[in-house]
């Protein structure tokens, strides 16, 4: 049995959920999110809880049970608190600044990198060496942060590049004579 799937998803105050077919729509203070579950699970909304149960005992039904429950829990978290990824820039002359909706990155290239902010995501740069990506969709926030990081991944010798704030870069020793 799925330990995650058994737990019902609690809806905090100010959050409402509606079900039409296999599509769950969650409304909260930060916005509206939807998720369409597969036909392998049954979703029931009872008061301020959402319960997911598998249809049958097949392997796929049991897999979708925990996955669907986690997706619904992420919808609730997204519309109440939102998701945030923080990035750090290390390196001499490497910096970031916001100009309207464009993130301008100076990463040692012959030109500045202009990163356009997609819809549903807020990018902020409090310091020239820190970037914060926020939004209500966890997948989009992670993808935008990964796309920013892709411009200059951290290298293992000096640690220069863009890394996640909680990421540890395994450092290597340089060449010896």
- The model's pTM is 0.84
**Could you write out the three-class secondary structure of 140-156?**
HHHHHHHHHHCCCCCCC
Domain that holds residue 57: 3-80
Residue 71 lies in a domain: yes
Helix (H, G, I), strand (E, B) or coil at 64: helix
DSSP one-letter code for 41: E
Residue 97 lies in a domain: yes
pLDDT in tens, 59-75: 888 888 988 999 999 99
pLDDT in tens, 119-135: 889 999 989 999 999 99
Q: Examine the domain organization and report whether 114 and 60 are in the same domain.
A: no
pLDDT in tens, 4-51: 888 888 888 888 888 888 899 999 898 899 989 888 888 888 888 988
């Amino acid at each position: 049995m799925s330990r995650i799937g058994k737990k019902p998803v609690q809806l905090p105050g100010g959050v409402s959920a509606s079900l039409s077919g296999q599509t769950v729509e969650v409304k909260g203070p930060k916005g509206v999110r939807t998720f369409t579950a597969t036909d392998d699970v049954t979703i029931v909304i009872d008061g301020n809880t959402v319960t997911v149960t598998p249809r049958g005992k097949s392997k796929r039904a049991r897999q979708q049970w925990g996955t669907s429950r986690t997706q619904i829990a992420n919808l609730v978290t997204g519309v109440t608190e939102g998701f945030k990824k923080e990035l750090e820039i290390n390196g001499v002359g490497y910096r970031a600044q916001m100009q309207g909706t464009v993130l301008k990155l100076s990463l040692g290239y012959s030109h500045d990198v202009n990163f356009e902010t997609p819809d549903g995501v807020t990018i902020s740069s409090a310091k020239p060496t820190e970037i914060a990506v926020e939004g209500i969709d966890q997948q989009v926030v992670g993808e935008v942060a990964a796309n920013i990081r892709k411009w200059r991944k951290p290298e293992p010798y000096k640690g220069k590049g863009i890394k996640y704030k909680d990421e540890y870069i395994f450092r290597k020793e340089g060449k010896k004579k």
